[in-house]
Chains A and B, each alone.
Chain A
C-alpha cells in the first residue's frame, strides 16, 4: 500500500494528491478526501489567522503510527496525509487526509479514524490571532470522545 505523510508550510492541492494516488491503478474503487479548513471565527469571535506550532520529528512518527494502525484495521490501497504548520488565514486549508480502498466503507472509516486521531494525538497546537491579541486554542472534550470511540475495550490504543 502506498502511504505518505507530509508536514509542510506551503498550501496543498487536494485534487493533485488524489490524482497521484490513483495514477496507473484500476484496483481502487473508492477515494475519500477530507480537508480541514481555517474558519474565520473561534468561539463566535472573528479571528485574523491561526498559527500552528508543531513538534516535527514526533508529528511525523505519530502520524505514521496512526496510518499503520488504520492499515491494520481496514483494507486500504493508499493513504496520504498532509498537515500544514505556520500561519494560516481563514479560508485556507490546514490538513488533508486521503484514503483509498476497493469499497467505500474502508476508505470512509479510515479517513474518519485518522482525523479523530490527528486531532487528539498529533503534536500540533493552534494559536489564534485576533485584533485583541494572541491566545492558544484549548483542546475540546468532544474531540477526545470522538477519538476514544475507536478504541476497543481492553485495548490500549491511547497512551495518555
Chain B
C-alpha cells in the first residue's frame, strides 16, 4: 500500500506483489520496487525519508518481510 506522495508518484494506492527470493528486508523491497519503473524510482529516490509498516505496525528498513500480509510505504507523518 502506498500513501500521500509515495502513492501519487507510483500512481496507485495498492497492489499485490510477489518479490523474488532474494528480497528479504524492507530495504531490499524498496530497492527491488525502485527497479520496476521510473515512477517507483521517483517515489523511492530518497529511501531515508520513506517510512514503512508491516501488518499495520511501524518497522525499520532492516525488518524482515517474510510472512507479511500487508506492507505500506509512506512519507514521514504529518497528522495531529
Contact of A57 among B56, B59, B60 (CB under 8 A): B56
> Do the beta carbons of A94 and B80 come within 8 Å of each other?
yes
The reply to whether the CB of B57 lies closer than 8 angstroms to some CB of chain A is yes
B50-74: which residues lie under 8 A (CB-CB) from chain A? 51, 53, 56-60, 72, 74
How far is B51's CA from A137's CA once the two chains are assembled, in angstroms? 15
Asked if residues B80 and A118 are in contact (CB atoms below 8 Å), the reply is yes
Q: Tell me which residues across on chain A come within 8 A of B56, comparing CB atoms.
A: 55, 57-58, 61-62
- The A interface, classified by DSSP as helix, strand, loop or mixed, is mixed
A125 touches B4 (CB 8 A): yes
Judge whether A55 and B72 touch: CB under 8 Å: yes
Is A13's CB within 8 Å of the partner chain B? no
Q: Is the CB of A58 within 8 A of B53?
A: yes
Interface residues in B27-80 by Cβ distance below 8 A to A read 51, 53, 56-60, 72, 74-80
Residues of A37-86 contacting chain B, CB below 8 A: 52-55, 57-59, 61-62, 65, 83
Residues of A in contact, count (CB < 8 Å): 32
Please give the residue numbers on chain A whose beta carbons come within 8 Å of chain B beta carbons, in ascending order.
Answer: 36, 52-55, 57-59, 61-62, 65, 83, 94-95, 115, 118-127, 136-139, 143, 159-160
Show the binding face of B for A, using Cβ within 8 Å.
1, 3-5, 51, 53, 56-60, 72, 74-80
Write 22 A-B pairs (CB below 8 A) sorted by A numbering.
Answer: A52-B79, A53-B3, A55-B1, A55-B56, A55-B72, A55-B74, A58-B57, A62-B56, A62-B57, A95-B79, A115-B80, A119-B77, A119-B78, A119-B79, A119-B80, A123-B53, A125-B3, A125-B75, A125-B77, A127-B4, A139-B75, A139-B76
